[in-house]
Amino acid sequence: MCGIVGLFLKDASLEPKLGEMLTEMLITMTDRGPDSAGIAIYSRGHDGHAKLTVQSANPDTDFDGLAEKLGAAIAAKVKMAVKDTHAVFDLPLDRLEAARHALRDIAPAIKVMSAGEGIEIYKEVGLPKDVAARFDVSKMTGTHGIGHTRMATESAVTTMGAHPFSTGADQCLVHNGSLSNHNSVRRVLKRAGMTFETENDTEVAAAFISHKLQEGAKLGEAMEATLTDLDGFFTFVVGTKNGFGVVRDPIACKPAVMAETDQYVAFGSEYRAMVMLPGIEHARVWEPEPATVYFWER
C-alpha cells in the first residue's frame, strides 16, 4: 500500500495555496504510507535560471559554504536556500549539468533530488505531517505538485527509497504498487546510458519514462509504453515541467480517484484525500480506467 496525491492547477489564483492544499492531501494519506513521504512541487521558473535540489544526511557541515564552492567550480553565481536536510541551488540554466558534475567532486556525500527549471523535490523518512513540516511545504507556491506516502515493499526505508523519483530534468514519478521485471528493465536502461541511485523498482519506472522522453516520445506516448514494457502492479502519477499524467496497469487493483473542476485536476489514492479542495462537491469525480493514459499539459 502507498498513498498518492497530485494537483495540477488550471486557475493561477490558486497557485499561492498549492503547498497548503498538497500538504493537507498528503497528511490525509498517512495511513496508506506512514514510513516516508515526499513531494515534488513545480513553480514558474525564472528565464535562464535552473534549480538543483540536493539532500544531505549532515546538512550543517555539508551545506556550509557550499554555494561559494559550487559557484567557483562552475564559474557562475550560485544562490543556496537551505531547508532542513535539503538545499535548493539557484544557478544559470546553461550551467546545470556542469553543477551536477562539480557536486560529485566537491560534495560526494550529497544526493541530487531533482534538477530543472521548475521542479523541487523534498523527501524524507518519517510521518507525512513531520516531513511536510520540516520543509515547510504548506508555504510553497506553484503550478502543480505530486506527493507520496510510502509503505515500503521493494526496497529499504531510506530517504533515497522515498518517492518522488526524478530521473530527468523537471521530471518525476510516484508509484503505488510493485514491479516484477524491474531488474531486467534496469539492465536494459543501464546499457542505454541511464544511471540509477537505488535498487528501487519505482526508480526504474521513472527512468523508463525519462529514457522514452529523451528518445523524443511525448509524455502520453512514454506513459503508454509502460503498459507494454513494465510488468507488475502500478498506479503511476508523473510530473513534467508543464504536464501531469496518470496511468494504471490493466488489472488496476491499486486505487485511484480523480477530480476535475475549472480550477484544477486532482489525484488521490482515495477520495478522502481530496475532500478539502475548493469546489470538490461540484467536481467531476471519476476513477481512471485500467490501462488508459491520462495527461494534462499547459
- Closer of 12 and 251 to another protein (Cβ): 251
* Shortest separation between residue 114's beta carbon and another protein, angstroms: 31
Of residues 152 and 285, the one with the C-beta less far from another protein: 285
**Nearest CA to 16 among 36, 50, 41?**
41
Least separation in angstroms between residue 287's CB and another protein is 5
User: Among 17-25, 192-200, 202-210, 244-252, which window interacts with another protein (CB under 8 A)?
Assistant: 244-252
CB-CB contact of 210 with 194 (8 Å): yes
- Minimum distance between the CB of residue 277 and another protein, rounded to whole angstroms? 12
Q: Report CA dihedral (226, 3, 160, 248) to the nearest 10 degrees.
A: 0
CA distance 177 to 30: 16
**Residue 255 in contact with another protein, rule: CB under 8 A:** yes
Smallest separation, CB 47 to another protein (Å): 41
On the 0-12 / 13-18 / 19+ scale of CB atoms within 10 A, 127 is middle
Neighbours of 41 (CB within 10 A): 28
Based on the shown chain and the rule CB under 8 A, indicate whether residue 104 belongs to the binding site for another protein.
Answer: no
Restricting to residues 3-62, name those near another protein by CB under 8 A: none
Provide the annotated active-site residues: 2
Which window, 11-19, 36-44, 159-167, 271-279, contacts another protein (CB under 8 A)?
271-279
Query: 161: which residues sit within 8 A by CB, 6+ positions away?
Result: 36, 150, 152, 155, 198, 200
Site string for another protein, 274-293 (x = CB under 8 A): xx---------xxx--x---
Residue 227 engages another protein in binding (rule: CB under 8 A): no
Shortest reach from residue 276's CB to another protein, in Å: 9
Q: Does 272 bind another protein (CB under 8 A)?
A: yes
User: For the chain, what is the radius of gyration of the CA atoms?
Assistant: 18
By beta-carbon proximity to another protein, the closer residue of 30 and 158 is 30
Report whether 22 contacts 147 (CB < 8 A): yes
Q: Does 199 bind another protein (CB under 8 A)?
A: no
Cell digits for 207?
527512468
Q: In the numeric block, which cell numbers belong to residue 54?
A: 540536493
Considering only the stretches 87-95, 96-104, 167-175, 269-277, report the one whose residues sit in contact with another protein under the rule CB under 8 A: 269-277
Contact 7/97 with Cβ under 8 angstroms? no
Task: Kindly indicate which of the ranges 39-47, 197-205, 213-221, 249-257 contains the residues binding another protein, using the contact rule CB under 8 A.
Answer: 249-257
Contact status: 270 vs another protein (CB under 8 A): yes
Four-point Cα dihedral 178, 196, 216, 229, nearest 10: -30
Please tell me whether residue 75 binds another protein under the rule CB under 8 A: no
On the CB side of 234, CA atoms within 13 Å amount to: 33
Which of 16, 81, 253, 298 binds another protein (CB under 8 A)? It is 253
| Strands ordered across the beta sheet of 2-9 | 119-125, 36-42, 144-150, 2-9, 264-268, 257-260, 284-286
68 binds another protein (CB under 8 A): no
Near another protein by CB under 8 A: residue from 271, 278, 292, 296 = 271
Which residues make up the interface to another protein (CB under 8 A)? 250-253, 255, 257, 270-275, 285-287, 290
